[in-house]
Structure 1
Amino acid sequence: MRSPHEQRLPFEAPIYEMELRLTEMEAQYAKNRGGGDTSKIGEQIRRLRRELAALKREIYSHLDPWQTVQVSRHQQRPQTRDYIELIFDQFLELHGDRAIGDDQAIVTGLGYLDDVKVMFIGHQKGKNLAERTACHFGCAHPEGYRKALLKMRFAAKFGLPIVSFIDTPGAYPGISAEERGQAAIIAENLMEMSQIATPIVCVVIGEGGSGGALGIGIGDRLGMLEHTYYSVISPEGCATILWKGSEHAPKAAAALKFTSRDLLGFGIVDEIVPEPLGGAHRDHTEIATTLKQFLLRQVRELIGVPTPELLDRRYDKYRKIGVFLEGTEGGPEPQRNGRAPSPV
């Protein structure tokens, strides 16, 4: 039975209609079992299940950018703490930045991926109003990024790989955050993550917005769940700047080229992690299993790379992002590095 509070996206209406029909037929089948021939109903149920799977595949393989944003923000989509429960063993949460406090928008801790001990860092949005308020809707303050940096230094000291989950519309934009050095600490994180001598695997699990995402997003591997976005700005923010109104967000989403397929083509993302039919919000266990396999594969590959080579590769990875031109007026033809402009 679905919760009456479940979020339903407009383009999913045909899916919900077919699921309702399927539920009714399954209830009828259960009621009539043992009381007569139910083979006809059983065959109809099997056919309807096949049609439902095909419908989900058709709809979700043709999402436009704005629909992708809606899926990435789905209220039932698994968040960082859900994945911690489903993926990691013996997780020990670590708190505080040793300066201001413990920002609940950033979760850090030690855990096991099967037999591999890792340092985990991730954004947390919260499930209900109280949690979302405490987590600032996933928008971290400077103390959150400072907490993350301290734990990354700890990981490097003890030779632990780092796993980072990105899910934020952006860093907290309030005056209090600016007064405590929001821009400076994010810049420091970018610099230090580029040089930390231990493997780093980052995954966008929902929203990947601006510097708030990049503050824990520099690494050796970058994955994105299939129906997520990673961008220099939210579509609403972009629309407000360019067209003076957030109602133009769908147009901005199309212009930003920030979906997983776009970024894989640009060479910014290393791999797209496929989601269950109909999105991660429909099957938390399946997406957690798929994501765990991705993390294990990436971490085990990186563990075997010598540290100097690991850091050289990381440096080259980010140097190759973007397009640049070289040349002077009347001189040789401009040279390109062969990549599209970076959206992050």
Structure 2
Amino acid sequence: MHQFLDFEKPIADLEGKIEELRHLSSDGDLNIAEEVSKLEAKVERQLRTTYQKLSPWQKVQVARHPERPHAQAAIDHLIDEYVPLAGDRSFADDPAIVGGVGRFKGRSVVVIGTEKGATTEERVRRNFGMARPEGYRKARRLMEFADRFKMPILTFVDTAGAYPGVDAEARGQAEAIARAIETCLAVRVPLIATILGEGGSGGAVALAAGNRVLMLEHAIYSVISPEGCASILWRSGEHAKDAAEALKMTAQDLEKLGVIDGIVKEPLGGAHREPAPALDALGAAIDRNLGELVGRDGGELRAERRDKFLAIGAAE
């Protein structure tokens, strides 16, 4: 049984009835296949109706769903012969950033991602995907490795933002993020970034300044969380829904604004309901975009990437 979000209560009630009927059927000779089929059709209609008109705040909830596929799931599904690499060669290894080398559709690549973790224990170990400076320095090391060996870079972003703790600030959090962004913009190989769930602030941009930036259909990407925005503007987290609307943080808004380059459609009901088809669709989108970039001159790729980000927000 899936973990249901608040606005999915009607769907949860219907699926609960289906489970009850299946349980009754297994206990006796009752033939309830027809009734189950009707309820399943009703669930599909309800899902379609609900997910076609999600509000920005509801999309925030979907993007944060704990069962949504994270970076490691994307790597495991899409990358063959994956070899993880660890450490920043200076201080430590940050479990919030995963990365290594592998093959995508037969092509050698470097992959990097922010990883939230799947279980409570793992989420704590990975600091809920909020990286410290050593994580961003590891990402930078991997990007430089890719540049040296002419390997395309694929990044998978799902983070509320960089870790704001005192220890992180003491070790140069802002500098580490800035250097990671600088490296994204400097490499002479194709860089394709995907926002899987949350793309929060500089902690996300550090891995997402790519030639192509993709977002899953119900992902979000913003300079600040709705709660953070509400606490600054309204002095209260109660206005998070209003902030989500004003921030224009959905994939659909960001595509219109030219901040991202493409949206990857999710299965009905979101990627958390059917992770494998969602990741298959993402793999196809990455393959298509990578095919357009591989073989191009490195200087041209770098110049195009820099121009792309300089143009964002420019007045016409």
Q: TM-score range by the shorter chain?
A: over 0.9
User: What amino acid is aligned across from residue 297 of structure 1 in structure 2?
Assistant: R
Q: Distance in 1 between matches of 2:69 and 2:185?
A: 28
Query: Residue 20 of structure 2 aligns with which residue?
Result: 24
Q: Distance in 1 between matches of 2:46 and 2:295?
A: 43
| Aligned counterpart for 1:172 among listed residues 163, 175, 179 | 163
User: What amino acid is aligned across from residue 170 of structure 1 in structure 2?
Assistant: G
Residue 124 in structure 1 maps to residue 127 in structure 2: no
User: What amino acid is aligned across from residue 319 of structure 1 in structure 2?
Assistant: L
Matched ranges for 1:144-163 at <5 A:
144-163=135-154
Q: Distance in 2 between matches of 1:152 and 1:262?
A: 29
In the TM superposition, what is the alpha-carbon distance from 1:26 to its structure 2 partner? 4.0
| Aligned counterpart for 2:10 among listed residues 11, 14, 25 | 14
Report how many aligned residue pairs link the two structures. 316
Residue 52 in structure 1 maps to residue 43 in structure 2: yes
Query: Residue 289 of structure 1 aligns with which residue?
Result: 280
User: What amino acid is aligned across from residue 20 of structure 1 in structure 2?
Assistant: G
Q: 1:44 to 1:288 in 2, by over 3 A?
A: same
Q: Distance in 1 between matches of 2:292 and 2:303?
A: 16
| Aligned counterpart for 1:134 among listed residues 108, 125, 143 | 125
SS in 2 for 1:103: coil
Q: Distance in 2 between matches of 1:229 and 1:114?
A: 27
Residue 222 in structure 1 maps to residue 213 in structure 2: yes
Query: Residue 186 of structure 2 aligns with which residue?
Result: 195
Residue by residue over 1:76-101, the C-alpha shift from the partner in whole angstroms, topping out at 9 and shown as x without a partner, is: 11111222222211110000000010
Matched ranges for 1:226-305 at <5 A:
226-305=217-296
Identity of aligned residues (%): 44
Residue by residue over 1:97-139, the C-alpha shift from the partner in whole angstroms, topping out at 9 and shown as x without a partner, is: 0001000000011111121111000001122332222211111
| Larger Rg belongs to | 1
Alpha carbons 2:59, 2:220 under 8 Å: kept: yes
SS in 2 for 1:189: helix
Q: Distance in 2 between matches of 1:285 and 1:202?
A: 19
Query: Residue 339 of structure 1 aligns with which residue?
Result: none
Q: Distance in 1 between matches of 2:216 and 2:180?
A: 23
| Aligned counterpart for 2:86 among listed residues 64, 83, 95 | 95
In the TM superposition, what is the alpha-carbon distance from 1:29 to its structure 2 partner? 5.3
Alpha carbons 2:109, 2:154 under 8 Å: kept: yes
Q: Distance in 2 between matches of 1:68 and 1:112?
A: 32
Q: Distance in 1 between matches of 2:126 and 2:33?
A: 47
In the TM superposition, what is the alpha-carbon distance from 1:21 to its structure 2 partner? 2.3
User: What amino acid is aligned across from residue 115 of structure 1 in structure 2?
Assistant: G
In the TM superposition, what is the alpha-carbon distance from 1:30 to its structure 2 partner? 5.8
In the TM superposition, what is the alpha-carbon distance from 1:22 to its structure 2 partner? 2.5
Residue by residue over 1:267-314, the C-alpha shift from the partner in whole angstroms, topping out at 9 and shown as x without a partner, is: 111111111111111111111211111122122221132223222321
Aligned CA RMSD, in angstroms, stands at: 1.7
SS in 1 for 2:186: coil
Alpha carbons 2:143, 2:183 under 8 Å: kept: no
In the TM superposition, what is the alpha-carbon distance from 1:265 to its structure 2 partner? 0.6
In the TM superposition, what is the alpha-carbon distance from 1:250 to its structure 2 partner? 1.1
Residue by residue over 1:171-225, the C-alpha shift from the partner in whole angstroms, topping out at 9 and shown as x without a partner, is: 1101111111111111112122112000000000011010000111110000001
Q: Distance in 2 between matches of 1:260 and 1:306?
A: 30
Q: Distance in 1 between matches of 2:74 and 2:25?
A: 35
Q: Distance in 2 between matches of 1:59 and 1:116?
A: 39
Residue by residue over 1:199-258, the C-alpha shift from the partner in whole angstroms, topping out at 9 and shown as x without a partner, is: 000000011010000111110000001111100001111011111111221111111111
In the TM superposition, what is the alpha-carbon distance from 1:318 to its structure 2 partner? 1.2
Q: Distance in 2 between matches of 1:53 and 1:60?
A: 10
